[in-house]
Chains A and B, each alone.
Chain A
Amino acid sequence: MALAALKHVRIAGVASAVPKQVVSNTDYSVIPEEQLAKIIKYTGIRYRRWAPKELCCSDLCQASAERLLEDLSWKREDISVVVFVSQTADYPFPATAQILQERLGLPKSCLAFDVNLGCSGYTYGLFVLGSLLEATGLKRGLLLAGDVSKMHGDCDPASALLFGHAGSATAMENARDTKPIYFEMGSDGGGFKVIYVPAGGCRNPVGANSFQKETLESGGSRGATDVVLDGAEIMNFTMREVPVSIKRLVEYAGRSVTDIDAYVFHQANLFINTQVARKIGIKADQTPTTLYDFGNTSSATIPLTITAQLRDRIAANSMRVVMSGFGVGLSWASTYWDTENVVCPELVEV
């Protein structure tokens, strides 16, 4: 487990965007109504936002960034770094960060690159961008994070009801007089098959057989280009790594778990997040959630929860916030952040 602190960068603003279209999990007809109600209760997910075919993650990130830059009154020429964190890039190559540099009207002097992470991607991204700014002294950067993933089989109840679409933009800048941002991060690649898409990369290129559906024990079916989710092992991984990560982080930041105003967890499953809260020893009202309305939006869940649930509080007060992303990789990253003068626009709908 890696502990680190960034002492001379601050998070200046957070914005999020979702597609307008709402889908309801109550409309899913593959499984009986009673079982569906139980899944909705345990996952906490009732509605999800769904992108039309032509809308990519980069479009949602761009919309978030446009709004955030406007509200911050930042000049585009002051931005030196663009990091795009996603598992749904526009093309196999080039990186989407370059495309966004041009679309956002940012200078050619920008560093721009992609990071392939999901559940832990937002907090990882804060560390990657913050470290670059701090190490180089470059003035300002944008973290663009989210996913528009359709890599789940509609016929597999284990994944069909979980994912929604969202993008986000977070502004970071070099700052002399600011409070440190603390991080605790780790990886467990031995569990990569706990959440993965078997076909579509170099290891298993897509072929004619990739789309054949295999019948599952649950009664559903899944092809090789659909996501595989092992709920039991996700639960075990989360219980094993996340509470201890958060406790170590909070201690490293010189705080106790009860000092924290809000714990913003990656939003994947309400039951699992409730167990994490129990294990840390915190109350449910310290853990804002957006699962009911938006589901799991991958690396966008944390900024989206800040936008949808903490916006007014963050604008009005300084808050002690812990953010924790955990999942696909397997990978996790937790962040302690003393918020200060954060610009947080209302949710953008595209």
Chain B
Amino acid sequence: MQELEQFVTHFENAVEGIEPNSLTPETQYHKIAQWDSLALLCLLAMIDCEYQVQIPGMALKQCDTLRDVYNLVASRKLLEAA
């Protein structure tokens, strides 16, 4: 749970214009006002920097909430470790 909250904080820091502590795991990230193609690059860079994995754009499109994105990242990390 703590890791999921940490992920949300990383997201808030990575994408320009988001107030700290304004999002939750259930936030539909693609519906926030700051979401655009540049925010997507920021998200991918954050995931690469903090979690050392790359998420294909198509896989990300299947994610609705930040919890979904975190779960995707966690499953990628497990795959990489296997």
Contact = CB atoms under 8 A, between A and B. Distances in A.
B66 to A, nearest CB: 17
B4 interface: no
A202 interface: no
A60 B41 CA distance: 33
Given A158-B37, A218-B37, A271-B41, A232 B16 contact: no
Interface residues of A, number: 19
Contacts of B45: 235, 239, 271, 275
Interface in B20-73: 36-38, 40-42, 44-45, 48-49, 54-57, 60
B38 A232 contact: no
A39 to B, nearest CB: 7
Contacts of A42: 38, 41
Interface residues of B, number: 16
Q: Please report whether the interface of chain A is mostly helix, strand, loop or mixed according to DSSP.
A: helix
A283 interface: no
Contacts of B37: 158, 218, 231-232
B40 A232 contact: yes
Interface of B: 16, 36-38, 40-42, 44-45, 48-49, 54-57, 60
17 contacts: A38-B38, A42-B38, A158-B37, A230-B57, A232-B44, A233-B57, A235-B41, A235-B44, A236-B55, A236-B56, A236-B57, A239-B44, A239-B45, A239-B48, A275-B48, A278-B49, A279-B48
Interface of A: 35, 38-39, 42, 158, 218, 230-233, 235-236, 239-240, 271-272, 275, 278-279
